[in-house]
Structure 1
Amino acid sequence: MEKIQTVTGGVTAAKGFRAAGGFAGIGKNAGKGDIALIVSDVPGSAAAVYTKNKVKAAHIAVTKDHIQDGIGQAVICNSGNANTCTANGVEIAEKECALAGKLTGIDPKNVFPAATGVIGVPLTFEPFEKAIPKLVENLSEDGSSAAGKAILTTDTYKKEYAVQFTIDGKTVTLGGIAKGSGMIHINMGTMLCFLTTDLAISHEMLQKALSEEIIDSFNQVSVDGDTSTNDTVSIIANGLAGNPEITEEGPDYDLFCEALHQVSVYMSKKIAGDGEGCTKLLEAHVTGAPEKETARLVAKSVICSSLFKAAVFAADANWGRILCAIGYTPADFDASDITVSITSKKGTVLVCEHSAAVAFDEDLAANVMGEEAVTVEIDLHDGDQEAYGWGCDLTYDYVKINGSYRS
């Protein structure tokens, strides 16, 4: 049996977590909802990472303040308004936390706010004042799906996932929900991910695990090259699994990191594969790089190429665009012996060898690229390091969606 098992339940799969989704009237889709609340029965260790955009949403300032002591117990998130570049954004975020805390009996400083949606649109507290009491009433151990839907914007499906593993004889669960779609070019360091676990782990080790994990998962995602003002990944670990607290590196910590990576990669792929207007998930797998960071940069360069993304949409194996994107990667490596193959469920086609053209079947290539998930395999033949990157194709609908985003 595999040491990490996939389970259902998303952000409420772990012991002691409940969630709810509702409609506050901030967004426009009452059926989807626009506000979510996630709570733990007890306070736990907490960690978070944020966008590196210099213009940040108000919720990031508040969460950074609230998480200073390393303790968290709840997350409240609205969609439909980014609460960014608004005069009273921090005030509203603080009021959200205060009301949610009052109604749940949680210290407001242990509540982390988040938001996603249109930037620079005025926001009042009234919608929150009406919706939060209902959210609290509806909190449920089965509330992950409702919460996962409520945080979406232009996403076409909710993103939730959970896994279980065993530490010192105790069953530990890790799960979460996420949203993405557009303005996705993550550099943590509009994408949000909320993770929960019943693992007992110190804040310091939790932050270390999260900060190191995002480098090979969330930071390797791009939909359109725009780094959002709102990107946040947070995690609360309430310790209810009953394992001895993890306070240092070792086998238990390594297993948790492996589980965290599995969840993070799953979420990263789902976010990339649901990019605005996209029809295909695009994955770049780089091997043979001289440095790990070089492999990351090359993978991201390929999945960010607008020209290649457009070719993927048309199922055109225009491999020259791949080589071009590899070539302008800001890293030092030998580009004289690159091999490129394109693969999917329909098969694999070699399109470039020794950094030069090879004969290939164009019809087979088009068939391979016609699938919903397409992988570009790149071997630099210049080392032993590898990395992945995830993106999507560039379609007419991306322009349509973003040409009328505010309407």
Structure 2
Amino acid sequence: MRIVFFNHPTFLGSQSMPRFAHMLLEGMRDRGHEVQSWLPAPGLFRLPVPQGMKKWLGYMDQFILFPNEVRRRLRDCPPDTLFVFTDNAQGPWVSLVADRPHVIHCHDFLAQQSALGAISERKTSWSGRQYQAFIHRGYSKGKNFISVSKKTREDLHKHLPSAPVRSEVVYNGLNQSFTLLDAIEARTVLGQKIGLDLTAGYLLHVGGNQWYKNRRGVIEIYDAWRELSGMNLPLLMIGIPPGQSVKDRREVSVYKSDIHFLTGMDNEAVRLAYAGASVFVFPSLAEGFGWPIAEAMASGCPVVTTDAAPMTEVTGDAGFLIPRQPANEQEVTNWAKQAARVVNHVVQLKGAEREKAVKAGLENAKRFDANQALDQIEAIYYSLLQTEKKHEHTSDYR
């Protein structure tokens, strides 16, 4: 196959989407396919202008200059080329190849829902609503889609004006090697790296500052758990530096000296953190998929997460579930106490009980094998091109 992957520009600084795109590109290349990566260059973005103007210049690079470059390149692309959009947020480019073989990978529609006022925890500005409408008009011209979860596919169908020609679900494959390690050894090595005594264990969260990751909620649960259990295990929060709201919540915690924000951690340190954690706490309000759940389970760490899709899709029967945090601030304290009881149950698991939980997680994580995911995606790519050829043949015959 000849495959052209549309990718986000590197100057946006995203991490998860480039990792996913890299997995697709290298996976298809390893399978012997001819692949190209098309993405906007930082032309205007590089100009020495005030920081506030950078975003708008970046938009011009993405939605004015890049489309012109794509139109030029399309002249040299054979008709059997498959065009792959690695993220539904690339919707504005879909019209460029809407009449050629194409497929759009869909991760989540949270920004779309927020722009429509459907998420109480998140408000979108006027300009943000216009941008999301621009994206929506774009991907609505698409015919073929691959979603990372059933929940994402369900959301996609709600946003499309009509049923798509093809709509498949392929769960994400883990793009790093997460394996079961000795917990004590992992705690020792990680503790030496970050200068903390972790030998007794710790609670862990991995995630960014997006509103739906609910880092404040993690601290709410931790405070409630400390009060409930009387134990003094630390909380490690791995990700980018916390926003002001999360820092403020930590400052009012009685246990703030035991809450550690760990930034700039390399892949090895993250794997050690998963392997040594007493429990992984992931009270997300929403997700497109929920990579860290699968990563933690593949590392032998029991997971406590929200009882809502797609988190429940990823955990299967192997997770420990808590209610979604209520939007009403007055109800958060009781929610945190309820969640803390579940966390405490997991922390207190010993011997055969913990081994059973770990084994269930490891077995569940096998569903998210990268090669298996790529095999499924490759089969869909082949099928799309074959369908297109049959359509062209029928049209020629008529």
TM-score between both structures, scaled by the size of structure 2: 0.22
**Structure with the larger RCO, 1 or 2 (CA within 8 Å, 6+ apart):** 1
- Structure with greater helix share of residues: 2
Q: Which has the larger radius of gyration?
A: 2
- Structure with greater strand share of residues: 1
TM-score between both structures, scaled by the size of structure 1: 0.22
